[in-house]
Amino acid sequence: MKNIAIIGAGPAGICAALSAAQNGHHVNLYDKNEKIGKKLFITGKGRCNLTNDCDQEDFFKNVVTNPQFMYSAFYTFPNTALKALIEENGCPLKIERGNRVFPESDRSSDIIQAFKNALARAKVNIHLESDVKALVKNGDTITGFTLASGEAIQCDHLILATGGKSYQSTGSDGFGYELAKSVGHRIVPPKPALTGINIVQDWPKKLQGLSLRNVELTLYIDDKKKKTLMGEMLFTHFGISGPLVLTMSSLINKEPKKARFELDLKPALNMDKLEKRLMRDFEKYQNKNYVNALSDLLPSKMINVIVALSKIDPHKKVNQISKEERRQIAELLKHLKLSVYSLQAIDSAIVTAGGVNVKEINPSTMASKKVKGLSFAGEMIDVDAITGGFNIQVAASTGFLAGMIE
């Protein structure tokens, strides 16, 4: 039996604690917050999108950074194992659109309670409001750490699971990176992932609060087409957000200014069909002004913006709009251009890209290659995925593998 210490009581640290306890070790779990799983309370808009019910091959396709690093972790503790853990500890789950897994109750607190139940059964000792100050090293081996209170904690093996730099109010303030650096690890500079995008154009800001469903967003980097996705997006005071945009943000966070988007408002209609649709609407409203003839086609909040972008007189009678102008409107609806200025600040991002360099971590154990007696888990590792439950699964899988200490 070894004395295992884990710093960070999010899903990564919790799963590491459960795994270590299952392997017969004495486990102490430390967190600076007043409760465990603080970030889980706000994930999925308070509903907690626990994982994704996809198959193994699809899981890796949804990991943006270093998916190959995740092979051992995910095969050791897949989504089926995480779902079973939560349900066995009192929280029934359901599967929604896109294979997203949520608690049946739609309450993130029920997921956290299930984790608490599991930790209690495993007899894990939990130490809250324990702020770590520094790691203690003897030669090339980690032997413990000190708390801000001055208390020295000794352990046979330490697992760092302190999270990234996003949502710092939940305790993910990036201090774990400093701890890793203090014992020789390199940190890939943290960047925001799954976040809103600041747009150069002013017109999206005029649509603040407008949500669009079943639209298609195409990403261009250096004017080369890279990705097209369909889904839901939201206009905001800074530009664009929503599920579609959050996913795209993780694909451009290395060099956002090289990116631009084209928004297709009517992906179900090709150009010819859209022109015919416009013709029917204009015949229906033939005696109206152009600005009053788009109500069947667009949300009311968007009409003035599209009219202005089309550069056609808003008071022109629709029966006077030419074929060329109609084509111009259709082109606009299919190819609305959005230039990226920057991403929203990392503190508002859902997850952090970057972290401890995976080349310095053994992917089969999550153990440090730099020092003995140290492992890593969760968001502080340079692995991130798109929205849909994949990031919590990354945390749980890496945590469980890290806890499998002999």
Same domain flag for 293 and 185: no
Q: Is the pLDDT score of 9 beyond 70?
A: yes
Share of the chain above pLDDT 90, in %: 91
Phi/psi-derived region of residue 319, left when phi > 0, alpha when psi is between -120 and 50, beta in every other case: alpha
Measured distance CA(216)–CA(201) in Å, rounded? 19
Q: Within this chain, do residues 147 and 216 fall inside the same structural domain, yes or no?
A: no
pLDDT at 43: 81
- As given in the structure block, the two tokens for residue 318 are 């629709």
Q: For the residues of 268-286, what is the DSSP string, one character each?
A: TS-HHHHHHHHHHHHHHTT
In 85-210, at which residue ranges do the beta strands (DSSP E only) sit?
Answer: 93-96, 100-103, 125-127, 132-138, 141-147, 152-154, 157-160, 187-193, 197-199
Q: Is 365 helix (H, G, I), strand (E, B) or coil?
A: coil
DSSP letter at 345?
P
Q: Using a pLDDT cut of 70, give the percent of the chain over it.
A: 99
pLDDT at 171: 63
HEC string of 208-253 equals: CCCEEEEEEEEEEECCEEEEEEEEEEEECCCEEECHHHHHHHHHHC
Q: Which of 403, 405, 406 is nearest to 18 (CA)?
A: 403
User: Are 135 and 81 in a shared domain?
Assistant: yes
Angle between helices 390-402 and 11-22 (to 10 degrees): 30
pLDDT of the residue at 170: 66
Q: How do residues 38-47 score in pLDDT, each as one tens digit?
A: 888 878 788 9
262 with 332, same domain: the answer is yes
Determine the pLDDT at residue 167. 67
* Strand, helix or coil for residue 44: helix
The pLDDT assigned to 127 comes to 97
What value does the mean pLDDT take over residues 3-25? 98
Taking residues 246-261, what's their average pLDDT?
Answer: 92
Q: Per-residue pLDDT tens for 220-244? A: 999 999 999 999 999 999 999 999 9
Rounded CA gap, 230 and 233, in Å?
9
Averaged confidence pLDDT in the chain: 95
110 neighbors 103 (Cβ within 8 angstroms): yes
114 band by pLDDT with thresholds 50, 70 and 90: very high
User: How far is 389 from 385, CA to CA, in rounded Å?
Assistant: 9
What residue has token string 């599920």?
243
pLDDT value at position 46? 85
What's residue 347's pLDDT?
86
Per-residue pLDDT reduced to its tens digit, 160-194: 999 998 766 666 788 999 999 999 999 999 999 99
Choice among 63-72, 328-337, 345-354 with the minimum mean pLDDT? 345-354
Which run of H or of E encompasses 109? helix 108-121
Same domain, 148 and 18: yes
336-343 and 197-199 as β-strands: parallel, antiparallel, unpaired? antiparallel
293 and 268 in a common domain = yes
- At 39 the pLDDT is 86
CATH of the domain at 25: 3.50.50.60
Q: Is the pLDDT of residue 384 over 80?
A: yes
In sequence order, the 6+-apart residues with CB closer than 8 A to the CB of 158 are 4, 5, 6, 7, 135, 142, 144, 145, 373, 374, 375
331 in the same domain as 359: no
pLDDT number for residue 234: 97
Range of the domain at 331: 196-343
At 174 the pLDDT is 86
pTM as predicted: 0.91
Residue range 369-385: mean pLDDT, rounded: 97
Residues 110 and 160 grouped into a single domain? yes
Going by pLDDT thresholds of 50, 70 and 90, the confidence category of residue 403 is very high
20, 32, 25, 26: which is closest to 10 by C-alpha? 32
Q: What is the mean pLDDT of residues 100-124?
A: 97
- 30 and 179 in a common domain: yes
Q: Are residues 185 and 45 in the same domain?
A: yes
Same domain flag for 202 and 223: yes
Q: What is the pLDDT of residue 260?
A: 96
**Residue 63 bridge partners (DSSP):** 385
Mean pLDDT confidence for 303-329: 95
pLDDT of residue 344 exceeding 70 = yes
Please tell me whether residues 243 and 339 are part of one structural domain.
yes
Query: How many domains does the structure of the chain reveal?
Result: 2
